[in-house]
Amino acid sequence: MNEHNDESEQHELEKLRLKKMKTLMDAQKRQQETQERVFSINDKVVYVLKAVLAPEAFSYLEKIKSNEPMVYQAIFNELVSRDVIDNIDYLIAIISRQGGVPRKIPLDAIIYLERKVKGIKGKIQVKKGNGEMMDLGSFLTK
């Protein structure tokens, strides 16, 4: 009788463990589904940026984000206007329906925006016959 009782208790404990495990798994699954459904605005903007920027442009922008946050913020503000944020769900729907965008923003555009934010002007250097370097404007005026 005692042995039968132990088996019965073990069986009941196992049933309780399985029930608790199933409840935990269901709760975890619901939480994951909620997280997948509820994207923050920032996640949505990053999704749109990944879709519209060329891969090397996006990785360069991420590098700027980690190294120079102020420059990144200025470039981000240039790329993502208030209209983009207001219509972010519509943009995501279009990108999803079309499977991407036909023309992506190249790396050159991000570098241009970075130089614009930093105030770096383009300079063309010319090497004179004696090996001295000077900018093109000075060379042409001589």
CA dist 100 and 87 (Å) reads 17
- Give the pLDDT score at 34: 61
For the full predicted model, state whether its pTM sits above 0.85.
Answer: no
Do 68 and 28 belong together in one domain? no
Owning domain of residue 94: 40-142
Could you give the percent of the chain with pLDDT greater than 70? 92
- Say yes or no to pLDDT of 32 above 70: yes
Q: What is the pLDDT of residues 90-130, one digit of tens each?
A: 988 888 888 888 899 999 999 999 999 998 887 777 887 78
DSSP letters for 89-132: HHHHHHHHHHTS-SSPBPHHHHHHHHHHHHTPPP--EEE-TTS-
Q: What is the pLDDT of residues 42-58, one digit of tens each?
A: 888 898 999 999 999 99
Do 83 and 114 belong together in one domain? yes
Provide the β-strand partners of residue 133: 127
Do 97 and 132 belong together in one domain? yes
How many domains does the structure of the chain reveal? Answer: 2
